[in-house]
Structure 1
């Protein structure tokens, strides 16, 4: 680890020198002569400066500056939210910075269709439209398999795009098969010659330093963006400590006919004594109707546990205009992740609070490669304009892993007064070896045609993607694969049809039918007779209709959807787990964002979800609600500029989850909860230097609540925490 840290520091220095030294300052225009950049005008939106869409490649923001108008939609390219037959939201850097968001979940939780499904403070997981997704399924600039696998920080991210619903045609199958929606990270790009330094202090004592440097050449063709971050200190929960060092560099080069970007990053992250979920022992679930009330500062991670991660990634993307009607593009990315983890799991055995503590050691190296190539062409047939895209993609990863459940190292203690073992002497030395454990290859080819009328009022999308998924599970790292149910090679064709009709320049209605492919789940139940088997891939089907309203100062989307997918069911007699069941998720989403009055900015919405088991073998759990799926979620965010004090803004946000079940039998339920966050921001000048001070309080009323997961588990919500930061711009 000491060697990796030294190498990380060297890489950070190299990134900084690349951005500043390797490109001499004489190559850049002077900071006090903005006219040489030939950038688009800057419009003032609610007392905040937001770059309009122009040569910098940044999309224009909607009124209020928190949400971008456009999103990247895979083979459909960059499109305005009113022009696409899907429900999509893009959170801007302004919103990320002003909320002092530290992770992807902090950002996407602003969408009412997203529920936090985090099972530990070293993981990132969420639910979109009732289907689970993870950090491993995020895209980086439209490419799967490249974004950090375990690290959820977003200091290098300019925008976070959330596509709700199945999207196989657009980007293909996600590596871990999430089907409820897609999250895409759009990295920061250079915006003139400037820099910022942010110092922040929060949680229980964590100090963070973040440097963000931007440089553009005098002709505006070449841009360099460097982000460096270091933090160290206590986390949100008792005994938790976090130390992180990251370095990211982003390059872009544009000519009259080509656009090329390159991004690379390196991450070192260590978390000690992380918080983990609380699980109820399967045989004891019948004795519980809900999760017990515990001290809000409780930590279910045993002292002495840790998670160490080193992640390195890079991606290059380029497109070239062959002529005015034909563009070719290609992208290639790689990532290598080293993870070393000693974790703990606690299982509640009885209502008196007796819990069993179990430990697991996991050491792995994950190597991933991803590529995409395509052609986009435009032509006309009569009164119809066509945009045809032919694209191919491939992603492959190998996972070298040793995992030891340490079955003999278990002990009982009490939930309310835990007596933890000293792991240093209790566990002894940990075995470290890295056999090839499993691999996955995803290949696909997609063809789409976006047909629109000359007046732009009708748009019809038709297309499909042929996907192949190859999963191999290896035996003892000797290169020999398991046969039968532990490896498979399957291909599926996923069609898609969608329609948008603009009634006028303010109202659009849309509909879509689209399919997706999810990789088969691994059977993990301890009671399953076929534990360890891989189930066959599932085909998901989505129907959706909706309406969008752009009223200039505020926009809103109302949509209704139905998604069906296979469900894993364990037979009560044979204890064989199969995918014979079906989950049907139906819901209504209402989202809104904008600035209805100068200085007053709103975001939020409500989602009603009915996620049920259907068509199960023998009727087991049929008609019951899927675990981890709240019936209603709501978010309301409000920002208000204080007009009597120039530069001062106040904010508040409410997040609500209805009562939610933690098991498919619907006998274990968590009460509804609402959390409130408040904040203040003050922007002023210290001499000629713009300075922004931000202060936020999360869970301001110190609400004690549980996030519901699956498998009889829940995660304790974080107690009241504070964050204070100061950003100086140069």
Structure 2
């Protein structure tokens, strides 16, 4: 029962009892939980403002903090398994790669944090997140250059006026530990100054091991502080800072043969035990929110992200033909990377009426200033075979490199969007963006439109159809290949288009959201190079910008409360994805893009003290190479969990037990022939969560 429904029932009962004899008193018994913490009604990223999903002409999935906590998730990849439209790619070098509707998400343009583009070449600190939003399809209209699959928007936790203090500790069967503190509250009696601080210390012992017998390990620290100050009743300023220090041994993935079988033992890491990556990431920013009047609001935001990484690689190379016991070459190097992301935006959001039509209007601008610098020093190559003593770490350092390889560019965009309500049943969403990139040798200008029509047969349902475009500028504005017939050819940005038809329907007094979408996405303008049968002078190839990728399919999902005690998050996707107009890849399927995928996570509350969780995650057959010669088998992973709630000295305590891969399924995750992720067997996690 929803909270407002419960309140109305209680008021009605009390009112009637005032005029009835005691024998006529109605007994009301409330069973189950009325708090629906699986279902989220609004998303921030799809419309650049908090918008109802029923008024969003686009498929959007929102994964709540509750689900993240129940699953004891420690990485973004574990969170995103709850949406079947996302599949994992390679997880080598302590980072995660994802495919959305079959298209790989770029580290620079595929992720947002609170609406800012976010450099995501590392495992995200999910402990600071309130929810994760998966925005499907091209979204360049509001955020600029981005891929055709969509975006992942990470919404962070904010300060609260109410005092809260949460502490938790979890451990797994390998001895990995994670400790977290999350505190918030008002700093003044007037509650106009509020803050929130989060601290995390994590030590991971992985199940895979190096060939000298040592286990791979990871050491991570996270600190975050967010402060809100009410400048007035109508104005807020927010300052945020977070820092992640993450050091881990390297594991570039397993090697598989032509039958998709792991070569050697599943636990074997081909990298040397002295290979590591050491990352420091800092985010510092400020946001303003000002209500100009009852109908208009202005939002301004700035974020500066600094990402520094040292990576000391052993860089193993898989030979063309390799069986366990053969030697392979390693090419060690020490490398330092420095990325700097500076993002800013200003949005004017308003509601007004013209000629009897209601408008929810957005006009704004955003920008990105990008810098990347690299130093690198290589060591001598060496050969290694299983059973040999591990070579010592080479005595090289990136600090001796006097040269820096640098890349810089910036871009800005101006966008407008209007949600027009013609009646309670009909709405029209229209918008467009002009975008300009300034980059040496790769200047680019683009304009993209977006339009959607929404029909509401009743207040709890929406049927919509939408069209959107996206773009990704090339690395150069001309083709550079002196042996190609078209050397010097002008290059346009790679473009994408999506056509989507969908339905969203809320059931059971709006407690459960059902949704479905049919989509057709095309990506055009990729470079296709063909070898000339007969060389023409010095020219041996011909390149044209005619490559195309076509992804079609449908999605179904359910999220919310099925009963007073049963909560569910479920989704499935069918995907027909192929390369077109490419001599080498024509008709081939992209790697790690299964035809069928599905996910399910549930909670059943036995009573107010005990709850059980059960989930299943399915991925169909996927190719491990672009030539489609090696196919990884389908698999289903089953997870279960349980929570026991108790109160100790006015402290709420949740004790959790989770078992991942209950049936000990053997499977391969994302990645290709020389960097595949091997699925872990049964893994047990225990956690204690305290709320003071």
| TM-score bracket for the superposition, by shorter chain length | 0.7 to 0.9
Question: More deviation in 129-138 or 671-680?
Answer: 129-138
Partner of 1:26: none
Distance 1:148-1:656 versus aligned 2 partners, 3 A rule: closer
Name 1:548's counterpart in structure 2: 504
Matched residue of 1:155: which SS?
A: helix
Q: Give the Cα–Cα distance (whole angstroms) in 1 for the partners of residues 646 and 198 of structure 2.
A: 24
2:150 equivalent to 1:181: yes
1:412-467 deviation digits (Å, cap 9, x = unpaired): 53xxx46463242x465555446251123121111122111242x21111111111
Structure 1 CA distance for aligned equivalents of residues 483 and 275 of structure 2: 31
Assess, with a 3 A threshold, how the Cα gap between structure 1 residues 528 and 350 changes in structure 2: closer, same or farther: farther
The CA deviation string for residues 79-114 of structure 1, in whole angstroms up to 9 with x for no partner, is 111111011111111111111111111111100101
- Corresponding residue number in structure 1 for 2:578: 612
Distance 2:611 2:600 in 1: 17
Q: CA RMSD in A?
A: 3.0
Matched, 1:571 2:543: no
**Number of matched pairs:** 637
Residue correspondence of structure 1 range 279-290 to structure 2 within 5 A: 288-290=258-260
2:226 to 234, 240, 250: 250
> How far apart are 1:155 and its partner, in Å?
1.2
**How big is each residue's C-alpha offset from its partner over 1:260-302, in whole Å with a ceiling of 9 and x where there is no partner?**
3222111211102x3213467xxxxxx8243436433232332
SS of residue paired to 1:571: strand
Please say if 1:115 is aligned against 2:84.
Answer: no
- Rounded to whole Å, the distance in 1 between the matches of 2:182 and 2:543 is 50
In the alignment, which residue of structure 2 is the partner of 1:130?
102
Matching residue of 1:479: none
Secondary structure of 1:716 counterpart: coil
Residue aligning to 1:141: 114
Structure 2 vs 1, CA of residues 639 and 668 (structure 1 numbering), >3 Å: closer, same or farther? same
Q: Which residue of 2 aligns with 1:21?
A: none
Partner residue in 2 for 1:219: 190
Give the TM-score normalised by the residue count of structure 2.
0.86
Structure 1: segments with no counterpart, 5+ residues: 1-40, 46-60, 281-286, 473-486
**Distance (whole Å) between structure 1 residues aligned to residue 491 and residue 261 of structure 2:** 31
TM-score (norm. length: structure 1): 0.81
1:385 matched to 2:366: no
**In structure 2, distance between residues paired with 1:701 and 1:209:** 28
1:453 aligns with 2:429: no
Secondary structure at the counterpart of residue 92 of structure 2: coil
How big is each residue's C-alpha offset from its partner over 1:206-253, in whole Å with a ceiling of 9 and x where there is no partner? 222211111124434332110011122413432111111221011223
Q: Residue by residue, what CA displacement relative to the aligned partner does 1:366-399 show, whole Å, maximum 9, x if unpaired?
A: 1221100122233222231112222111101111
- Aligned partner of 2:516 in structure 1 is 558
Corresponding position of 1:275: 251
Give the C-alpha shift of residue 660 in structure 1. Answer: 0.8
1:64 aligned onto 2:36: yes
Tell me if structure 1 keeps the 8 A contact 2:278–2:310. Answer: yes
* CA deviations over 1:326-374 (Å, ceiling 9, x no partner): 2222111101111000233441532534444444432111122110012
Relative to structure 1, is the Cα distance of residues 79 and 197 closer, same or farther in structure 2, using a 3 angstrom cutoff? same
Which whole-Å CA distance do the structure 2 matches of 1:72 and 1:129 have between them?
A: 21
Structure 1 residues 386 and 711: alpha-carbon distance in aligned structure 2, compared to 1, 3 A threshold: farther
Listed one character per residue, the Cα deviations across residues 1-40 of structure 1 (whole Å, up to 9, x for unaligned) are xxxxxxxxxxxxxxxxxxxxxxxxxxxxxxxxxxxxxxxx
Alignment deviations for residues 562-605 of structure 1 (CA, whole Å, 9 cap, x no partner): 11113454535546776431000111011111111122111111
Q: CA deviation at 1:201?
A: 1.3
1:659 aligns with 2:621: yes
Relative to structure 1, the CA distance from residue 178 to residue 420 in structure 2 (aligned partners, 3 Å threshold; closer, same or farther) is: farther
Q: By how many angstroms is 1:640 displaced?
A: 1.4
Residue number in structure 2 paired with 1:584: 550
Q: Matches of residues 189-338 of structure 1 in structure 2 within 5 Å?
A: 189-191=158-160, 192-202=162-172, 204-216=174-186, 217-238=188-209, 239-254=215-230, 255-272=232-249, 274-278=250-254, 288-292=258-262, 294-338=264-308
Q: Is the 1:148–1:311 Cα contact (8 Å) retained in structure 2?
A: no
Question: Compared with structure 1, are the counterparts of its residues 94 and 436 closer, same or farther at alpha carbon in structure 2 (3 Å cutoff)?
Answer: same
Structure 2: give runs of 5+ residues left out of the alignment.
8-32, 210-214, 533-539
1:440 correspondence with 2:384: no
**How do 1:630-669 residues align onto structure 2 when only pairs under 5 Å count?**
630-643=594-607, 646-669=608-631
Residue deviations 1:644-696 (CA, integer Å, cap 9, x gap): xx421111211111111122221121111111222111111112111111121
For the 8 Å contact 2:506–2:514, the answer to whether it is kept is yes
Are 1:78 and 2:55 matched, yes or no?
no
Equivalent in 520, 528, 531 of residue 474 of structure 2: 520
Report the Cα offset of residue 703 of structure 1.
2.3
2:69 counterpart SS class: helix
Larger Rg, first or second structure (1 or 2): 2
In the alignment, is the contact (CA less than 8 A) between 2:228 and 2:237 conserved in 1?
Answer: yes
What is the distance in 2 between the residues matched to 1:607 and 1:704?
23
Measured in 2, the distance between the counterparts of 1:63 and 1:549 equals 20
Instruction: Report how far residue 718 of structure 1 moved.
Output: 2.8
CA drift at 1:313: 0.9
Is the 8 Å Cα contact of residues 488 and 536 (structure 1) preserved in structure 2? no
